[in-house]
Structure 1
């Protein structure tokens, strides 16, 4: 399973690798989405990207926090 640093990277990968293998009917339903995304005519939200990715496969967002050690001031 590929891992990405952002939802936008995962979405771009989806268009290049998953979309071509979808059925004709599914491609028809995504036609306006692909146009909006590729032309960047509209503001394409991360929420919309996540919904489309979830509809067509397993999609998980992972947040990682690694606290830095506090420096002691003397």
Structure 2
């Protein structure tokens, strides 16, 4: 099966990430004139991908919000001892 005949849903996670990165940033932003342009755009896209995009697999919320909610749900409050 060639990449062009695959759907994004059938790709493993890392390949899916690379596919999205290439499609949304690298191919869309061409022609890149300098490596610095690619580096800056990559940092900005990665920040958006990790912090500000709404993620459909986790209820269309921010990944950071999901992580906070998960932490609060799975962490037991520590008890206090009275002296």
Normalising by structure 2, we get a TM-score of 0.30
